Amino acid sequence: MAIIFFLLIAAAVGAGFLWVVQKMVFQGKWSYFIYFLAAFLPFYITSLSLAYLTTRSTVVVSLFQVSKEFIVLIAGLSFLAYQKRLFNYPFRLQSTDWFMFSFLGLAVLFLFLPIGQASFVNKALYFKSMLIPSLVYFLGRNTNFSGFELRKLFQLIFVVAIAAFLVNLVERFLLGAHLQQFTGYALFNQVVNNIEPEGNYGLTWTFETTNAMKRLGSFFSDPLELASSVLMGFSAGLIWFLTTEREQQWKYLLVMLCSTGSLVFASSRASFAAFFLMIFFIALVFRLYKLIGIGLLSLVAFAGFILFFASDDLYFYVIDTLTLADTSSVGHVVEWALALESMLSNPMGIGLAMSGNFGSVSDELRVGGENQFLIYGVQLGWVGMLLYIGTLFSGIRNAIFVFKNSENLNIARMAFVAGTVKAGLLLPLFTANVEIYTYVSWVSWWMVGISINEYSRLRLHSHQTELQNK
């Protein structure tokens, strides 16, 4: 059975890759790389696991691994090749661009300067994990999609959200087990990533709560990536629900329900909090103050339910979460403390590949690793962390500006998703290395990029209008 699924995935990935490449190289549709990423990245780890389980070949696994970076590089080269007047290209840098350029430039310095104990190869691999999302952002920054092309991307996001929930249902009610127990996930981690199987299900501790309850990850790498990724599906479904004729709204309501269901199956406390933070942020954007009031009343009602009606397991689960008494919360606090101690002792940073959960960070050198802000702060110093924060917040602010001011409906929808997802992910960023969740990270950075492109156009139009009125 595994070989059948592997052949199907290999055929789909190969066909999708070749279709996108020929569109980019021969037709100049270099922006189409985002379709490949949006369709492939949710299944990325499942593809690698099945590839190794079926072939026992790290070479085959490597082909799948490099495909995502290779498609981005081909897109970048195609963009350069199809610019007739490259040196006359009209650069109009906005605040998000400056923050992103500065952040990446600082990383380049840390790559070549003799800072840190990691080898140059490990530094280069870590730098690649920062460079590719930046390239995705800048490619989005220069993308001019039609309404039809933007709708196709939204459709991919909807399909992923619904499919993830359907797989969750299969895991819960048919298999009674995690999908990863059948895809060779543990074997792949053990042989390729040198991670030994852990926990009651032979996977990793991420796949269960502290009381051994299953946390389902669908076809994503783990429940945490699923929980972070469905925020994008929910946000996209919501904006289409709010901006579509009543007869068509049921489809987007279905997407939101599926996304919420997957969030429940994933049982991620940070993502639950992120979900409500995103809803609160959306209410502020739309000035739905009644919704905020309803949310607060719901929170009070939930607290009353926990206090007076919940089972003992649920009661103590919530109490341990709030008091940081469970092992997971204690682990977060310990990692934060180690990272902050390092940043206070070395405010200029200790070098690349010295913090976080990325593969090129060795266990012997790792300092902290469960807070994206502190991960960058440990490696690039306070300046690097502040530049990353500046990139995030300026991207959120400018995307919401585009949503409110753009006359292009699909661009406004895309900007809404970009701003709300990045805002919603602020909480998971405190408890996880979220930038390694390639689907939600890369696709949302592309969305921020295309939003800033529209932001630049709006600012230019506003400036020209002011000059004409003088």
How high is the pLDDT of residue 320?
67
β-bridge mates for residue 208, sequence order: 214
Q: Is the pLDDT of residue 324 over 70?
A: no
pLDDT band (50, 70, 90) for residue 379: very high
Quote the tokens at residue 421: 């997802």
Separation between Cα atoms, residue 224 and residue 420, nearest integer Å? 18
pLDDT, one tens digit per residue, over 22-68 is 999 999 999 999 999 999 999 999 999 999 999 999 999 999 999 99
Quote the tokens at residue 130: 């920062």
pLDDT band (50, 70, 90) for residue 370: confident
State the chain's mean pLDDT as an integer: 89
pLDDT, one tens digit per residue, over 123-157 is 999 999 999 999 999 999 999 999 999 999 999 99
pLDDT band (50, 70, 90) for residue 294: low
How high is the pLDDT of residue 86?
62
Q: How far out from the chain centre does Cα 313 lie?
A: 31
Tell me whether residue 310 is exposed, middle or buried, using C-beta atoms within 10 angstroms of its C-beta: 0 to 12, 13 to 18, 19 or more.
middle
How high is the pLDDT of residue 89?
63
Give Rg (Cα) of the chain: 22
- Token pair 């530049």 in the structure block, residue: 387
CA nearest neighbour of 119 among 421, 329, 361: 361
Q: Which residue has the higher pLDDT, 18 or 298?
A: 18
How high is the pLDDT of residue 214?
87
pLDDT, one tens digit per residue, over 430-457 is 888 889 999 999 999 999 999 999 999 9
pLDDT band (50, 70, 90) for residue 298: low
Q: What percent of the chain has pLDDT over 70?
A: 92
Q: How far is CA 36 from CA 228, 280, 439, in A?
A: 20, 32, 11
Separation between Cα atoms, residue 418 and residue 433, nearest integer Å? 19
Helix axes 120-141, 95-112, angle to 10 degrees: 160
pLDDT, one tens digit per residue, over 91-130 is 688 999 999 999 999 999 999 999 989 999 999 999 999 9
Indicate the pTM of the whole model. 0.93
Mean pLDDT, residues 331-360: 88
Q: Which residue has the higher pLDDT, 210 or 352?
A: 352
Separation between Cα atoms, residue 145 and residue 156, nearest integer Å? 15
Q: What percent of the chain has pLDDT over 90?
A: 64
Q: Is the pLDDT of residue 363 over 90?
A: no
**Whether 300 contacts 251, CB under 8 Å:** no
Separation between Cα atoms, residue 452 and residue 98, nearest integer Å? 12
Separation between Cα atoms, residue 393 and residue 448, nearest integer Å? 11
